[in-house]
Amino acid sequence: MATATADASAFDAYATQYEQALDSGLKISGEGPEYFARRRIEWTHHILADETQPRRVLDFGCGVGLAVPLMREVMQPDFVCGFDPSRAAIERASDELGNANTQFTAKSDQIAAEVFDLAYCNGVFHHILPENRSTALQTVYRSLRPGGWFALWENNPWNLGTRYVMSRIPFDRDAIVVSPPTCRAMLQAAGFRVARTDAWFLFPRMLGWLRPFERLVHRLPLGAQYLVLAQKPLDASDL
């Protein structure tokens, strides 16, 4: 959803109807928001399985917390922190999902430093002005322990279906999209080591029988969304 450098007030109006607004664009795919959220989290968990079992997870730009129940189910972390500057979204997330092991905040300075094993982020950076993206990345970088991972999912502007879906979602229509090369470059500029890029969601539900073939081409920038997985170096010599 929003971030510290996006206009949080613009998202406050959607705090009670976020799913409906998202559905207005996604329904053309034949799937709802949970399908895509689950696939993103399952794939993130899968590719990190040989690297780490994230015990502390930051959901950066968490919105109303739609991804949090799936993180609990799939990743089974000990603690989740959800951050979003939209106070209305954070209030809803806290009321519905907050507990001793899951906390939400609308203030970036309340995110603990160097404690998270994984920072997860979906569809956030296209809402941040390009000149402000480095500030958001600094917040994520600071939150991660040395060796921690950043899973940054973004909408793929090279996919025509993505652009059409975004045009149907009220809060995405004026977003400034981020291409995979731009995403990798900004992560590297922020000090991260880029490990890999994957793209998923190539086929709508009506062509669901073709989805198993996505595994053959997911390293190509074809899908509706892509993931850039990056790591905070253990020390300066790793850069």
Contacting residues for 56 by C-beta, under 8 A, at least 6 apart: 77, 78, 79, 80, 81, 115, 116, 117, 118
Decide: 142 and 60 in contact? Cβ < 8 Å: no
Alpha carbons 144 and 25: distance in angstroms, whole number: 33
pLDDT at 33: 85
What tokens appear for 2 in the block?
A: 């929003």
Name the pLDDT band for 158 (thresholds 50, 70, 90).
very high
Gyration radius of the chain over CA positions: 17
Q: How many whole angstroms separate alpha carbon 212 and alpha carbon 46?
A: 16
Bridge partners of 57? 80, 118
Q: Which CATH superfamily is domain 8-238 in?
A: Vaccinia Virus protein VP39 (3.40.50.150)
Q: pLDDT band at residue 21, thresholds of 50, 70 and 90?
A: low
pLDDT above 50 (res 3): no
Residue 239 binned pLDDT confidence (cut-offs 50, 70, 90): low
Domain ranges across the chain: 8-238
Q: Are strands 116-122 and 102-105 parallel, antiparallel or unpaired?
A: unpaired
Q: What is the pLDDT of residues 62-87, one digit of tens each?
A: 999 999 999 999 999 999 999 999 99
pLDDT of 183-224, one tens digit each?
999 999 999 999 999 999 999 899 999 999 999 999 999 999
